[in-house]
Amino acid sequence: MTESPALAIKDLRVTFGDTVRAVDGVSVEVRPGEIVAVVGESGSGKSVTSMSTLGLLPPTAEVSGVIQVGGVDVTALDGAGLRAIRGAEVAMVFQEPMTALNPAFTVGWQVAEALRLHFADMSKKRAYERAAELLEMVGIQDAKRRLGQFPHELSGGLRQRVMIAMAIACEPKVLIADEATTALDVTVQAEILDLLRDLRAELGMAILVITHNMGVVADIADRVVVMYQGKVVEQATVEDLFARPQAEYTRRLLTSVPRLERGAHRARARTALREPGQAAAGTPALALSDLVVEFRGERGSKVRAVDEVSLTIGAGEVVGLVGESGSGKSTVGRTAIGLIKPASGSVRLLGESLTGAKGRDLRRLRRRCSIVFQDPASSLDPRMTVGDCIAEPLIINKIGDRDDRVAALLKSVRLDPSVRARYPHELSGGQRQRIGIARAIALDPELVIADEPTSALDVSVQATVLDLFLELQDRLGFACLFITHDLAVVGLVADRVAVMNSGRLVEEGPREEVLFDPREDYTRRLVASAPVPDPAAQRERRAQRLSL
């Protein structure tokens, strides 16, 4: 432990303007070959910290403190000095592989450019050869062919690998991965985390991982720095942190993280009331049979987003629909409520056919169900007050007594009735999602489609919103199609679970069976890839997954 740190941040303070203190006295050290994770919720200052190490903050930011990379103080450097550090000493991988690569150039050109920027005497041919080597190093097969491809021809996971290849092109001493796996599916995330671990072993780099995901932390980190409101609240080894969290905030954070465990299902008194056989007896809330949805693709060709999916949701039942991005799970949700027309197959809502319904009939059916979207920022009209947003379903369906109802709805989602006069942009993400839920239950629906309702929220907020959602479901007894990519969340809310992969329903069954004893390979891989917030258990799961 006498080795000098590769990256040392001492008493870093960053302020924007006079009032906003983004980072307040943060000190972090990363030694060569060590992986340190910085965790925190949005607004905790973790990304600002990582940006400041490369001098990438906007000019309005006031920075004080010391940032040393291999003993050199970065904060004292000017433009040319910073450029020499960037890439060569410290490299960074960003969250969005979609936008971080230039769509106008081939992958090979971009990797070669990164090389030639730092090795001025490297020939073009040599740079391309080295680029191919780098792509192989980050686990891209058929690297020579990939060099000639454009970013849009690659999947998200491959793009993130290319970003990592560019980052390690000049063999930096420090690699910063800023939410580098957040936009990826769990199976891909697991692969990228494996890659980072391999690179650390091969190149002996110091890696700083910025993340909000406690599962990722448990999976990859040696040491963890917990940030909250610009301050470091706790620093510990990963085992200590998860086993014996010291700070109050860390403890709260850890209890908020949903876990994929057998006993984690909500305790419900009424579960006894609704044995599987009983649910099937009544009219199902939603019955999809052989549903096919097609979108127009390139040059008139048709892309099947949903391929012969059959699914039934009994009255009052919560069915979790899981799948990775592009699996068609959201499309199923939107088709179920009539926002998308299926190419073939049928949708029966509450015992009536939705597929043929038009005009008044369709509207009458829709009155009895509702939908909660992922992004509360875009599902509320920015030009309407909160009160108007919630009252909208009441206005549409000509229900009087709106003032009292809106107040009651706000109360039932645990918001103060005074927020009704405010506009959505003035509220936090969690508050906005509560309003989305209040709007969804305004007509006392029999079926609610919840499309990733908590994915855009921080874990502690997610916990309260999920709590609220479940409480309402218990009280109002609506059936629910709960769409999510997060297995732990599904384990928490669903009675039954359905798994989708590239448009098809892979597996469907009771929660315990699908999540803990899956029949299909795909489900098994999916479950094994989801990182759990427990370092010891995660190590075991990793070994298990790699043997799959």
Partner 1 sequence: MTASVPSPVVAAQPAPVVGPYRRMVRLFFANRLAVTGLVLLALLLLFCFVGPLVHPTDQIHTQLADANLAPGVKGHPLGTDDVGRDVLGRLMVGGQTSLEIGIAAGLLATLIGTVWGAVAGYTGGWLDAIMMRVVDAGIAIPALFLLLVSATIFRPTVTTQILIIGCVSWLVPARLVRAEALSLRSRDFVQAMMAMGGSHRRAVFRHIIPNAIGTVVVNATFQVADAILLVAYVSFLGLGVAPPATDWGAMLSNGISYTYDGYWWLIFPAGIAIILVVSAFNCIGDGLRDSFEVRLQGR
Binding site for partner 1 (CB under 8 A): 251-252, 255-256, 258, 266, 334, 337-339, 362-364, 366-367, 369-371, 373, 375, 378-385, 389, 392-393, 396-397, 414-416, 418-419, 421-423, 425-426, 431, 436, 439, 443, 460, 463-464, 466-468, 470, 492
The residue whose two tokens read 């199976």 is 187
Q: Pick from 483, 467, 485, 463: which is nearest to 475 by CA? A: 467
Minimal distance, residue 399 CB to partner 1, in Å = 11
Q: Which is nearer to partner 1, 84 or 421 (CB)?
A: 421
Q: Which is nearer to partner 1, 159 or 420 (CB)?
A: 420
Minimal distance, residue 374 CB to partner 1, in Å = 8
Minimal distance, residue 342 CB to partner 1, in Å = 16
Q: Which is nearer to partner 1, 97 or 533 (CB)?
A: 533
Contacts of 78 by beta carbon, 8 Å cutoff, 6+ apart? none
Q: Which is nearer to partner 1, 180 or 227 (CB)?
A: 227
Element (H, E) at 376: helix 376-379
| Inter-CA distances, 520 with 296, 342, 515, 523, 525, Å | 30, 27, 11, 5, 9
Q: Which is nearer to partner 1, 181 or 462 (CB)?
A: 462
- How many Å separate Cα 429 from the centre of its chain? 14
Q: Which is nearer to partner 1, 138 or 490 (CB)?
A: 490
Minimal distance, residue 15 CB to partner 1, in Å = 18
The type of residue at 145 is R
Whether residue 345 contacts residue 305, with contact meaning beta carbons closer than 8 Å, is answered with no
Minimal distance, residue 35 CB to partner 1, in Å = 28
Beta-carbon count within 10 A of 4 CB: 11
Cα gap 56→51, rounded to integer Å = 5
Q: Pick from 404, 466, 407, 396: which is nearest to 437 by CA? A: 466
Beta-carbon count within 10 A of 263 CB: 7
What is the dihedral sign for C-alpha 272, 276, 277, 278? positive
Whether residue 112 contacts residue 127, with contact meaning beta carbons closer than 8 Å, is answered with yes
Contacts of 77 by beta carbon, 8 Å cutoff, 6+ apart? 55, 85
Six token digits for residue 41: 């919720």
**Whats the size of the chain, residue-wise?**
548
Q: Which is nearer to partner 1, 105 or 295 (CB)?
A: 295
Minimal distance, residue 214 CB to partner 1, in Å = 14
Minimal distance, residue 42 CB to partner 1, in Å = 16
Cα gap 323→504, rounded to integer Å = 10
Minimal distance, residue 343 CB to partner 1, in Å = 17
Whether residue 35 contacts residue 200, with contact meaning beta carbons closer than 8 Å, is answered with yes
Cα gap 261→427, rounded to integer Å = 33
Minimal distance, residue 454 CB to partner 1, in Å = 12
Q: Which is nearer to partner 1, 280 or 339 (CB)?
A: 339
Cα gap 337→236, rounded to integer Å = 48
Whether residue 225 contacts residue 28, with contact meaning beta carbons closer than 8 Å, is answered with yes
Whether residue 212 contacts residue 189, with contact meaning beta carbons closer than 8 Å, is answered with no
Minimal distance, residue 48 CB to partner 1, in Å = 20
Q: Which is nearer to partner 1, 134 or 285 (CB)?
A: 285
Phi first, then psi: what are they for 285, rounded to 5°? -70, -35
- How many Å separate Cα 488 from the centre of its chain? 12
Q: Which is nearer to partner 1, 83 or 266 (CB)?
A: 266
The residue whose two tokens read 């009895």 is 368
Minimal distance, residue 414 CB to partner 1, in Å = 4
Q: Which is nearer to partner 1, 381 or 521 (CB)?
A: 381
Minimal distance, residue 519 CB to partner 1, in Å = 29
Q: Which is nearer to partner 1, 82 or 377 (CB)?
A: 377
Cα gap 453→260, rounded to integer Å = 18
Q: Pick from 420, 423, 363, 422: which is nearest to 393 by CA? A: 363
Contacts of 499 by beta carbon, 8 Å cutoff, 6+ apart? 322, 323, 505, 506, 507, 508, 514, 518, 520, 522, 523, 526
- How many Å separate Cα 199 from the centre of its chain? 24
Q: Which is nearer to partner 1, 33 or 43 (CB)?
A: 43
Q: Which is nearer to partner 1, 60 or 547 (CB)?
A: 60
Minimal distance, residue 333 CB to partner 1, in Å = 10
Minimal distance, residue 360 CB to partner 1, in Å = 9
Cα gap 67→149, rounded to integer Å = 38
Contacts of 278 by beta carbon, 8 Å cutoff, 6+ apart? none
